[in-house]
Amino acid sequence: MSLGATQARAKVAVDGSRAAVALTLGFPQGPGAAASTREAVAAVLSANGLELASLEMTWRIAVHAPQPGVSPLPQVRNIIAVGSGKGGVGKSTTAVNLALALAGEGARVGLLDADVYGPSVPTMLGLSGRPDSPYGKMIEPMRAFGIEAMSIGLMVEQDTPMIWRGPMATSALTQLLTQTLWGSDTGGLDYLIVDLPPGTGDIQLTLAQKIPVAGAVIVTTPQEVATMDARKALRMFEKVQVPVLGLIENMAVHVCGQCGHVEHLFGEGGARRMAEQYGVPLLGSLPLQQAIREQGDHGVPIVAYAPESSAAACYRETALRLAAMLASRPRAPMPIASSLMGE
């Protein structure tokens, strides 16, 4: 990962040809990511004729500015919306595994299932039963694989259809967001990933107009039909002034488990061409693998089930690029009291 893409703060002390570096990053760094960062720092120094003597690395996730007219939630530093122009592109699978990847790097992460008509997060996380409501008004999020989660699917029977008009659906989303005790055990969340329903309807507009979104990510597949709809989602976020952090290309390549043959079943390069056209980053290209689908169905996402797999590595790399892009965004204005407390 390029350190130039982040707002890293570095202090360098040079003694002859050796340099001691103290680095503060705005995104999480687990052991694997830290090793990559160390290599990147060493490469930058080497290009300037210096050798890395020592590296002291810390990270702190700031509160980044949402769209105009709304303020960040007290217990959630950053809300990241994961959307798509159409269904069937693996958006929910992507959102779940990104959340787990960020948590695996040390961040405090929550996941809100905003698809009130077709909630899938409880199944993918293996959650069942109803969340506790200790005071009768607020709701305790459920927990799985190191993240907090909330979904309308946890409040109703699994086969109960949500036959709601738009205002009821958006009201339910707002209540799930504001009446959940996010981060009550951890001092707040660094990231709340919101898995949006596909399209550009009422729920997306409510999110964009009333909920403080620090950034949006759009999931697509490489094929032209999918990128056509993804363009609409991107333009919607632009119109409502929600910053688009980048695109994620899902199902980009399939590697045969028997012979190793590589195929681009849904075409090749569609997301990259779209990213270049609209001037947004391509955060990652994720594989099409049977294990990703199977583990989602079994309630143990691939990042948790096989953390050393190539698929999990793709999710981690994509999640870190996403976090780095957010770290490069402007910070939210902080109240004087919060500034004095070191926020």
Q: What is the pLDDT of residues 306-336, one digit of tens each?
A: 999 999 999 999 999 999 999 999 998 866 3
Mean local confidence (pLDDT), 245-267:
78
- pTM (whole model) above 0.85: yes
Domain range list for the chain = 3-59, 76-327
Query: Which ranges constitute the DSSP H helices of the chain?
Result: 31-47, 91-104, 121-125, 166-178, 202-210, 224-239, 270-278, 290-298, 302-305, 310-327, 336-340
Alpha-carbon gap, residue 325 to 313, rounded angstroms: 18
Lowest mean pLDDT of 90-94, 96-100, 202-206, name the range.
202-206
Residue 4 pLDDT grade (very low, low, confident, very high; cuts 50, 70, 90): very low
Q: What is the mean pLDDT of the chain?
A: 86
Q: What is the pLDDT of residue 161?
A: 67
Residue 299 pLDDT grade (very low, low, confident, very high; cuts 50, 70, 90): very high
C-alpha 186 chain-centroid distance = 19
Residue 265 pLDDT grade (very low, low, confident, very high; cuts 50, 70, 90): low
268-319-123-164 Cα dihedral, nearest 10 degrees: -80
Options 3.50.50.60, 3.40.50.720, 3.40.50.2300, 3.40.50.300; CATH for 76-327 is 3.40.50.300
Q: Give whole-number Cα distances, 313 to 193, 217, 227, 278, in Å.
A: 19, 19, 24, 27
Q: Which of 201 and 249 is assigned the larger pLDDT?
A: 249
Alpha-carbon gap, residue 227 to 270, rounded angstroms: 7
Decide: 186 and 150 in contact? Cβ < 8 Å: no
First CA to last CA across the chain, in angstroms?
Answer: 27
Mean local confidence (pLDDT), 104-119:
92
- The count of residues in the chain is 343
Q: What is the pLDDT of residue 35?
A: 82
Q: What is the pLDDT of residue 260?
A: 67
Strands 189-195 and 109-113: parallel
Neighbours of 28 (CB within 10 A): 25
The token pair that represents 232 in the structure block: 């609409």
Give the amino acid at 298: H
Residue 85 pLDDT grade (very low, low, confident, very high; cuts 50, 70, 90): confident
Q: Which residues lie below 8 Å from residue 48, measured CB to CB, with a gap of 6+?
A: none
Residue 3 has pLDDT above 60, yes or no: no
Residue 1 pLDDT grade (very low, low, confident, very high; cuts 50, 70, 90): very low
Decide: 11 and 22 in contact? Cβ < 8 Å: yes
Alpha-carbon gap, residue 333 to 177, rounded angstroms: 22
Please name the helix (run of DSSP H) or strand (run of DSSP E) that holds residue 25, with its range, or none. strand 18-25
Q: What is the pLDDT of residue 144?
A: 97
Mean local confidence (pLDDT), 167-172:
82
The token pair that represents 326 in the structure block: 């957010």
Residue 341 has pLDDT above 80, yes or no: no
Alpha-carbon gap, residue 196 to 63, rounded angstroms: 21
The token pair that represents 116 in the structure block: 């009130």
